[in-house]
Amino acid sequence: MKKIAVFTSGGDSPGMNACIRAVVRTGIKMGAEVVGIRCGYEGMIEADFVPLDSQAVSGIIQQGGTILQTARCARFRTPEGRRMAYDQLMKAGIEGVVAIGGDGTFTGAHVFSQEYDFPFVGTPGTIDNDLFGTDYTIGYDTAINTAMAAIDNIRDTANAHNRLFIVEVMGRDAGFIALRSGIASGAEAVLIPESTSDTQHLLEILSRNEAMRKRANIIVVAEGDEEGGAFQLAKTIRERFPIFETKVTILGHVQRGGRPTCSERVLASRLGMEAVKALLDGRRNVMIGQVHKDITYIPFEQAIKHHQRVNPGLLEMVEMLC
């Protein structure tokens, strides 16, 4: 391949810029011209292509977000939209693409490659850490550290005012952020979608704490938990324990931004480099992951259909230590 492209799609995550940087510099070192596609699949349809050289990606490894920007694209879900994207890639002479994103990104790449036999290689960019075939996704480590730091700050106020705080973190379908940040911040309880929440058990914990006059409590809940999120949980607690001054904090999109951690930058750089090597070696329609420090190549179809499972040891830690 003489010309390849890279784009970011779906939700942004810290480390995407480090991955872009690695793709560009590896591609150039291996003799390929590299272009960036702005705004994901939307930019592919609109031919929003920008040439990238080593200087263009200098000084971005420490930046959150993505210099190529990202967007969701309804048009790419249609055959007509994908045809337009293919025509634009062909017109620009692009022979392969590195896609940085999550489930939706890889679903689009899989469908597109099936229709046009066009080579894509993906790197997992999502704070949720829910993709099968990699121990950690790009953005996850930074997100859990951001959440942990925020919960630590909330703990100070909880202790100062004897308040119960319910902290909702991101994770519509996955509780990985809630689980690790909750354990690391010493939360009294953690509620996640993967584990059926025992509301009665939580109320027993709060009842015990009330008996010990411990009214400063932290409960971490993933936004996708079946209890209905932080506000519904707060309603249940207020009805049962009016003595607790119950507050709700939604961390929201603060978890998506910020400077990526050291581990994040190294992981993103390695996955970006390996993605280019795989693409130029003739691999296609696979996600590059890292499992037990080894590089893995997971077919898009497998990465999409299967999801990362919660470590049962972490669930035991919640039970034992909270």
The CATH number that applies at residue 242 is: 3.40.50.460
Tally Cβ neighbours within 10 Å of residue 49: 19
- Domain end (from 256, 273, 294): 256
Whether 311 is in a domain gets the answer no
pLDDT class for 313, splitting at 50, 70, 90?
A: confident
More reliable by pLDDT, 199 or 108: 108
Judgement on whether residues 37 and 120 belong to the same structural domain of the protein: yes
Judgement on whether residues 131 and 267 belong to the same structural domain of the protein: yes
53: annotated active-site residue: no
**Taking 90 as the threshold, does the pLDDT of residue 173 lie above it?**
no
Question: Taking all residues of the chain, what is their mean pLDDT, rounded to a whole number?
Answer: 92
Judgement on whether residues 9 and 123 belong to the same structural domain of the protein: yes
**Taking 70 as the threshold, does the pLDDT of residue 29 lie above it?**
yes
Judgement on whether residues 205 and 267 belong to the same structural domain of the protein: no
Structural domain count, the chain: 2
Whether 270 is in a domain gets the answer yes
Whether 315 is in a domain gets the answer no
Question: Which is nearest to 23 in space by CA: 13, 11, 14, 32?
Answer: 32
pLDDT at 174: 81
148: tokens are 């942990």
Over range 33-47, report the average pLDDT: 97
Judgement on whether residues 193 and 241 belong to the same structural domain of the protein: yes
Across the beta sheet with 49-52, the strand order is 49-52, 33-37, 3-8, 96-101, 120-124, 286-291, 294-299
**Taking 70 as the threshold, does the pLDDT of residue 10 lie above it?**
yes
Over range 114-136, report the average pLDDT: 95
Judgement on whether residues 127 and 113 belong to the same structural domain of the protein: yes
d(C-alpha 121, C-alpha 79), whole Å: 21
Over range 147-172, report the average pLDDT: 93
pLDDT at 227: 65
Tally Cβ neighbours within 10 Å of residue 103: 18
Whether 319 is in a domain gets the answer no
Judgement on whether residues 162 and 30 belong to the same structural domain of the protein: no
Judgement on whether residues 118 and 165 belong to the same structural domain of the protein: no
**Taking 90 as the threshold, does the pLDDT of residue 208 lie above it?**
no
- Catalytic-labelled residue, pool 128, 130, 141, 225: 128
163: tokens are 């308040």
- What is the DSSP track for 212-281? TT---EEEEEETT-TT-SHHHHHHHHHHH-TTSEEEEEE-GGGGT-SPPPHHHHHHHHHHHHHHHHHHHT
- What pLDDT digit, counting tens, does each position of 63-100 carry? 999 999 998 899 999 999 999 999 999 999 999 999 99
pLDDT class for 166, splitting at 50, 70, 90?
A: very high
pLDDT at 251: 95
User: Has this prediction a pTM greater than 0.75?
Assistant: yes
Judgement on whether residues 10 and 120 belong to the same structural domain of the protein: yes
What range defines the domain where residue 249 resides?
145-256
Phi, psi of 207 (to 5 degrees): -65, -40
Asked if 212 and 220 touch (Cβ cutoff 8 Å), the reply is no
Judgement on whether residues 194 and 232 belong to the same structural domain of the protein: yes
Judgement on whether residues 42 and 122 belong to the same structural domain of the protein: yes
pLDDT at 143: 97
Least confident range of 73-87, 150-164, 182-196: 182-196
The CATH number that applies at residue 284 is: 3.40.50.450
d(C-alpha 293, C-alpha 282), whole Å: 23
pLDDT at 225: 66
pLDDT at 47: 97
DSSP 207: H
Whether 318 is in a domain gets the answer no
